[in-house]
Every structure is written in structure tokens, then in C-alpha cells.
């Protein structure tokens, strides 16, 4: 991303013990840079469990949501009652129930006929079943993995895929699909990803015509496979994000993978620590990550910056506090909103607004000959002080580590200054 640089220069001769009260406004923006921004959340609507709609219940049957960019509607799956395979249509701005997708023709003779839903950029809708063993004949929790396609919200469904994405893998953990689904693209460029619950493989789906799909199994040996529901989301290019929430005390990392369909592999790029929760959504255009914490029934919004993830706004509780033993849920983004589901604990919608960081004063003092930088911080921004010995130097160097803004002042000490030092503070 492009940070907002705040160049603050202060020369200091070590032989001269002085206090520098610069209180300078950081108003300079380097060529090609833009002002740093953060995001704020404002409540739009919520659906508490066991209130507005009977399918928004505490029976572990609502696990997925998706935003339809063609209509502005939110889609959500619920299997309540147990024989149902319903995908409900909600008005994105109000949460009002508008109807259901046509589910005539779906294969209902299994326990999880529909579990996840996703929408392509052209408004075509996809949904999948959940199968514990994709190699077996249909019965109970077993049977082939199935993908369904709706041309729009009023269309009848067609079968996009039926088969075994595991390629008869001998590892039972590699034969479970349908806990997670990601969709992107349109027409013949539509792509889908389906993860396994506790395995080390991911299924990638492509199409020659936008109607029928074939799979490619991707081996991902560095996946954190544990007994918890995983979610998956496309990143930029051939990348994806995934995370699980563990019922144990240890927090599982947010994992970022690149994948190569030619070699049928997915390679770990980075583990991001200290991101609580599991079910997630990622908005590529704004580098926004939404995460649901099923153990604490909370939603958090993060922004990916050059220095890592920075939480945006406050941690927000869900309407319910019921047990979510499967640690399932979902997050979906629209251009101006974000939606979050914590299974058994309701559905929430928030508007998204951007905050541009205003120029801020930085005070530099030099007690005991050690320059100290102090500036007011704003929540949602990550601050990195930097230095160089000469303005002619090509690069700036980081002074200590980056610090998250909290609304309070931040102070950083340069314990080993050079004879002449120049400072600036970057805000991401």
C-alpha cells in the first residue's frame, strides 16, 4: 500500500544538549503517495437468533453468507428444519427477507444437501453440499461433492459439478469438502476454491464455458489441519487466505498461500499471528479482513498494511452468546458494507466508511542526548518512525518497531542517534 509519509527533520549535535520542541505539522506528501486511511463501522441491522426468522436459530444449521454484487442482496444458507435446503435472499441495506432461491432439483438425500454459498462478480450464484467422504455413494454424511449454479436469483439451479475432488485420496481428511467455498471471476473465468476440514489439500475449480466445472486438487502440506471448521477466501492473483479457530487455548495463525495449478501445489507465503477467530472474509480491493471469533462471539475488522494487519474500529459482539461448538460462521463484503455470521448467534451488517488521517504534530525532545519523538495517535492506523543520517541518503530506516494507534500519544526513543539525524513518521 502507499503510506502517508510525515517527514520531520531535526539536526542534533551531540555536544550540544538541547531540547527540540518542533511541534511541526506533517503536511508533506511525497510524489505518488496518498493519505493513510482507516475504516469505521456503523451498525446497519442485525438478526438475533430465535427472533426474526425461524431459520436463524441455534441448531448449527446456518453457516454461510454471500453478497450478490448484481442485486445488492445478501444470501444465506440454512438447513432448518433438517430436511430443508434453503438459500434465503435478504435486502443488503435492511436485512428484510425477500424470498428464497429455487432449490427444486437439488440432491436432498444426504444430511448436508447445501452448506455454503458464493456469488461471482457477474451475479451468478454457486452453492455446495457438505460431504465427509467424497468417495462413497450418497448416504448420510457421505457422497460426491456437488456444486450447483443459479444464473440469477430467479433462475432454476443447474448442476455445475459432481465428483470426488480428492482423486480417491487414501487420507480420510482429504475427502471432506463443503465446509468452505470461495468464488470469484465471471463466465468462463469463474474460479472456485473448496477447502477440507482437517486435511492438507484444497480443491480448485475452473470452467471452459461458465456452466460446467472440473477440479484440480492442490497439495498444501503447510496447512494447519486441525479438527475445526476452516474458511477460505481468494487473495490477489493466485493466492488464498485460510484460518481455523481452535477450541484449544492456542491460537492458530492466519495463513496466506500462493497456488500453482500447473504443479497442483499450494505454497505457504506467510503465517500471520495474533489474529483471533476463524471464519473470515477478505476484500482484495481494500486489503480488508473480517474475522468472526466463534468462541467469544465477536467480529473484528483488520486492514493489511505494509507492516502487517491493523485492527479497524472496535471489537463488536454478536447478538447471541450461545455455544458455537463447530466454530463456524462467515464474512462477506460489499462496496460499502460488511456482513458477519456467527453460527447460533445471529447475523450483523455494518456500513463501511473511510477515515483519512489528518496531518498531526510531532514533538521532538532530547533528554540526556537521546531524541524522543512523541505524537498523537488515531485508532486504526499503524505508525512507524524512521530516520536517516542525511537527506541525500536513498532510503529511510525504521526506528524500533511499528506501533498500533490507540487514541493516546505514542513516544519513541532513539537510544543510539548519529551525529546528524533526520526523522519522519509513517502512518499506514
Least confident of 131-145, 222-236, 278-292: 222-236
Q: Phi, psi at residue 187, to the nearest 5°?
A: 55, -135
**How would residue 28 be classed by pLDDT, with cut points 50, 70 and 90?**
very low
pLDDT of residue 340: 98
pLDDT of residue 198: 87
Collect all residues with Cβ–Cβ distance below 8 Å to 336 and sequence separation of at least 6: 351, 352
For residue 403, give Cα distances in angstroms to 16, 123, 291, 363, 407: 30, 40, 21, 17, 12
- Identify which has the larger pLDDT, 325 or 67: 67
Q: What's the whole-number mean pLDDT along residues 380-394? A: 87
| Residue 66 CA neighbour count, 13 Å, CB half | 29
**How would residue 59 be classed by pLDDT, with cut points 50, 70 and 90?**
very high
Q: What's the whole-number mean pLDDT along residues 163-171? A: 97
Least confident of 84-88, 289-293, 402-406: 402-406
Q: Phi, psi at residue 188, to the nearest 5°?
A: -70, -10
| Residue 68 CA neighbour count, 13 Å, CB half | 26
Helix (H, G, I), strand (E, B) or coil at 64: strand
pLDDT of residue 420: 64
pLDDT of residue 416: 81
pLDDT of residue 417: 81
Measured torsion, CA atoms of residues 347, 246, 286, 30, in degrees rounded to the nearest 10: 140
Report percent pLDDT > 70 for the chain.
89
pLDDT digits (tens, 9 = 90+) for 121-145: 999 999 999 999 999 999 999 999 9
pLDDT of residue 29: 29
**Residue in the block written with cell 477467530:** 277
Please name each of the domains of the chain with its CATH number: 4-36+357-427 (2.60.40), 39-355 (2.120.10.30)
Measured torsion, CA atoms of residues 284, 242, 230, 289, in degrees rounded to the nearest 10: -40
Residue 6 pLDDT greater than 60, yes or no: no
Closest listed residue to residue 279, CA positions, set 319, 327, 312: 327
Least confident of 6-10, 16-20, 386-390: 16-20
CA-angle at 116, arms to 115 and 122, nearest 5°: 145
Cβ contact 414:405 at 8 Å: no
CA-to-CA distance for 8 and 422, rounded, in angstroms? Answer: 7
Q: What's the whole-number mean pLDDT along residues 38-59? A: 95
DSSP E strands: which ranges in 110-200? 116-119, 125-128, 145-150, 158-163, 182-184, 191-195
Highest-scoring range by mean pLDDT, 15-19, 59-63, 235-239: 235-239
Measured torsion, CA atoms of residues 175, 125, 282, 359, in degrees rounded to the nearest 10: 180
CA-to-CA distance for 60 and 23, rounded, in angstroms? Answer: 56
**How would residue 427 be classed by pLDDT, with cut points 50, 70 and 90?**
confident
Helix (H, G, I), strand (E, B) or coil at 368: helix
Q: What's the whole-number mean pLDDT along residues 395-403? A: 89
CA-to-CA distance for 340 and 286, rounded, in angstroms? Answer: 17
Which DSSP string corresponds to 173-189? GGG-B-S--EEE--GGG
Cell numbers at residue 274, please?
495474533
Residue 159 pLDDT greater than 70, yes or no: yes
- Identify which has the larger pLDDT, 322 or 356: 322
pLDDT of residue 221: 94
Average pLDDT of the chain to the nearest whole number = 88
pLDDT of residue 358: 80
Amino acid at each position: 500500500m502507499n503510506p502517508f509519509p510525515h517527514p520531520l527533520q531535526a539536526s542534533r549535535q551531540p555536544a550540544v544538549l538541547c531540547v527540540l520542541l518542533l511541534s511541526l505539522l506533517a503536511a508533506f506528501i511525497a510524489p505518488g503517495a496518498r493519505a493513510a486511511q482507516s475504516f469505521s463501522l456503523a451498525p446497519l441491522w442485525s438478526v438475533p437468533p430465535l427472533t426474526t426468522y425461524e431459520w436463524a436459530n441455534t441448531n448449527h444449521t446456518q453457516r454461510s453468507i454471500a453478497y450478490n454484487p448484481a442485486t445488492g442482496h445478501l444470501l444465506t444458507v440454512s438447513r432448518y428444519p433438517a430436511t430443508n435446503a434453503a438459500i434465503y435472499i435478504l435486502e443488503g441495506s435492511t436485512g428484510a427477507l425477500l424470498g428464497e432461491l429455487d432449490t427444486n432439483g437439488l440432491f436432498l438425500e444426504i444430511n448436508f444437501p447445501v452448506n455454503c454459498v458464493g456469488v461471482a462478480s457477474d451475479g451468478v450464484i454457486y452453492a455446495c453440499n457438505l460431504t465427509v467422504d467424497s468417495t462413497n455413494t450418497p448416504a448420510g454424511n457421505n457422497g460426491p461433492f456437488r456444486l450447483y449454479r443459479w444464473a440469477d436469483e430467479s433462475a432454476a439451479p443447474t448442476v455445475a459439478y459432481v465428483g470426488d475432488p480428492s482423486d480417491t485420496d487414501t487420507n480420510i481428511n482429504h475427502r471432506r469438502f463443503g465446509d468452505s467455498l470461495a468464488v470469484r471471476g465471471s463466465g468462463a473465468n469463474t474460479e472456485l476454491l473448496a477447502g477440507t476440514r482437517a486435511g492438507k489439500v484444497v480443491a480448485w475449480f475452473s470452467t471452459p464455458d461458465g456452466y460446467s466445472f472440473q477440479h484440480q486438487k492442490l497439495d498444501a502440506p503447510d496447512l494447519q489441519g486441525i479438527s475445526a471448521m476452516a474458511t477460505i477466501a481468494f487473495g490477489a492473483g493466485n493466492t488464498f487466505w485460510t484460518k481455523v479457530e481452535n477450541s484449544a487455548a492456542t491460537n492458530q495463525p492466519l495463513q496466506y498461500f500462493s497456488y500453482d495449478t500447473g504443479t497442483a501445489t499450494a505454497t505457504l507465503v506467510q503465517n500471520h499471528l495474533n489474529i483471533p477467530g476463524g471464519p473470515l472474509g477478505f476484500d482484495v480491493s481494500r486489503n480488508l479482513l473480517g474475522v468472526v471469533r466463534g468462541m467469544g462471539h465477536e467480529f473484528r475488522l483488520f486492514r493489511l498494511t505494509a507492516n502487517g494487519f491493523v485492527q479497524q474500529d472496535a471489537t463488536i459482539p454478536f447478538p447471541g452468546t450461545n455455544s458455537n461448538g463447530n466454530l463456524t460462521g462467515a464474512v462477506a463484503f460489499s462496496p460499502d458494507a460488511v456482513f458477519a455470521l456467527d453460527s447460533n448467534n445471529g447475523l450483523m451488517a455494518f456500513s463501511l466508511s473511510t477515515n483519512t488521517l489528518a496531518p498531526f504534530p510531532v514533538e521532538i525532545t532530547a533528554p540526556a542526548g537521546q531524541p524522543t519523538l512523541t505524537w498523537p495517535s488515531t485508532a486504526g492506523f499503524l505508525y512507524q518512525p524512521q530516520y536517516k543520517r542525511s537527506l541525500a541518503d536513498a532510503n529511510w530506516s525504521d526506528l524500533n518497531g511499528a506501533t498500533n494507534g490507540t487514541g493516546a500519544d505514542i513516544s519513541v526513543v532513539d537510544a543510539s542517534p548519529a551525529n546528524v539525524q533526520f526523522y519522519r513518521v509513517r502512518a499506514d
